[in-house]
Structure 1
Amino acid sequence: MPGKVVSKEEWLVARKELLAKEKAATRARDELYGALRSDFPMVKLEKEYHFTGPNGQVTLGDIAGGNKQLIVYHFMLSPDDEVGCTGCSFLADNLPSSLGHLNSRDTALVLVSRAPLEKIEKFKTRMGWDFPWYSSFGSDFNYDFHASLDSDVTPPEYNYKPSKRTSKGEAPGLSVFFKEGDDIFHTYSTYERGLDILLGTHTLLDLTPLGRQDENGPVDWKLHDEY
């Protein structure tokens, strides 16, 4: 049994102490992301990337549509894979079920993988997802944003340091872009634990006595139709 049983008065003291820490963490997070919004630099993209979607070939600007902002989740599904990464699938299950709220704030959210579109569509149908998902097959996109690692293509780097991985393969990540006219700017990318903020399931479990119950790490994750 987690925790200890105490009186209501003792519980209230502990809860108020925790509340003070929660408020401090909230203020720190507000300050952190406030700085990101206000003065964090961005880089103009000089290369035009091409993707395959349900309606054929598109560019990064096309994917953004009429929105100024574009959030791309680099989903681990390589040309050799038939099934998506369980960790990426868990994260996708935690994405908004409706993108209307993001769209109302001039923001598009899409998934991108290196697998050909037919493999993406097959797995997407199995999982019952309906968010936009594009193939970057044959493009440098995932390599340039360090979500695909292959020393034959580019020096492997992951999470802003040289990667120690010796095998070729995919890695999870998220990149943000800003569109101004015909120009596209890269504003942000995050990897590894930086993606945790997207996991609403973990946030809810963190409020419970048993917590995440993932002592064995990602091996505990399954595709949602395999539980």
Structure 2
Amino acid sequence: MTEHKTGTRQEWLAARLELLEAEKELTRRSDQLARQRQELPWVRIDKEYRFETDEGTASLADLFGGRSQLLVYHFMFGPDYEAGCPTCSSIADGFNGFVVHLAHHDVTLCAVSRAPLAKLQAYKRRMGWSFPWASSFGSDFNYDFHVAHTKEEWQSGAVEYNYRTMDVGPSEAGAQMASSAGTDWETYRREGPGMSAFALEDGAVYHTYSTYERGLDILWGMYQWLDRAPLGRNETGFWWRRHDEYDGR
């Protein structure tokens, strides 16, 4: 017997209509926030960044692939990782499906990680992914966009991430994810997830937006479904796995 509140169809409908008003307000607020994102001032990028891609060495402008907009997912895969971050991997599972739609709407989606290209290519084959993925190995790109930090920064306790100074201590879930990536916690935490948006206009590249931590929730399709399931996220600790690691798949 369920312990959740039960009721009649009429009671459900009344409660659902009340919730619908709240959902509509959230939608309107979300539309307003989208406009605010688009109204942020663009910051021109004059620094030269070099990436390694399946097509060879590329500049940041090259990553646009002939389009005027670029969305970069900062995928946690450090040079010393043996596998990509399991959380980033779960998020990236959705990329193959909509990257083609974005490409036909003047937007290129590309993941960027600090691991050497060969590691990214091998992991990409394992996961069955086809979306663009560039290596920033040896570049300042991840550091400049605050998704990579040096050992010295962490030891100082003054790491800039998600627009604030922070220091993340070890946790059981963190240690599990680090082990899952084939590394230790101190090495694992030098990388961070995020996404950044860029515009290309008259040959110049502009940074337009970046988000981190819970700002990535909306990109994690799995959770959007769970938020609508009867028990919601209903989670304790690190429960998700790479899609080829579940039993009985």
Question: Deviation digits for residues 120-147 of structure 1, max 9, x if unmatched?
Answer: 0111110111100010000000000001
**Equivalent pair of 2:96/2:131 in contact (CA under 8 Å):** no
Aligned-pair identity (%): 48
Q: TM-score, normalised by structure 1?
A: 0.93
Match of 2:175 in 1: none
- Measure, in 2, the Cα distance between the counterparts of 1:18 and 1:2: 21
Match of 2:24 in 1: 23
- The alignment partner of 1:63 has SS state of helix
- Measure, in 2, the Cα distance between the counterparts of 1:25 and 1:2: 29
Structure 2, unaligned stretches of length 5 or more?
A: 170-185
Q: TM-score, normalised by structure 2?
A: 0.85
- The alignment partner of 1:157 has SS state of strand
Count of equivalent residues: 224
How many angstroms does 1:205 deviate by? Answer: 1.5
Indicate yes or no: 2:240 matched with 1:221.
yes
- Measure, in 1, the Cα distance between the counterparts of 2:42 and 2:98: 28
Structure 1 residues 198, 149: closer, same or farther in 2, change over 3 A? same
**Equivalent pair of 2:95/2:131 in contact (CA under 8 Å):** no
**Equivalent pair of 1:2/1:209 in contact (CA under 8 Å):** no
- Measure, in 2, the Cα distance between the counterparts of 1:61 and 1:224: 32
Question: Deviation digits for residues 88-119 of structure 1, max 9, x if unmatched?
Answer: 00110133514222112211000000000010
Match of 1:161 in 2: 164
Structure 1 residues 109, 121: closer, same or farther in 2, change over 3 A? same
Question: Deviation digits for residues 178-205 of structure 1, max 9, x if unmatched?
Answer: 0012210000000000000112221112
Q: Which stretch has the larger CA shift, 104-113 or 147-156?
A: 147-156
How many angstroms does 1:165 deviate by? Answer: 4.0
- Measure, in 2, the Cα distance between the counterparts of 1:83 and 1:122: 9
Indicate yes or no: 2:220 matched with 1:199.
yes
- The alignment partner of 1:76 has SS state of coil
Match of 1:7 in 2: 8
How many angstroms does 1:35 deviate by? Answer: 2.2
Match of 1:179 in 2: 200
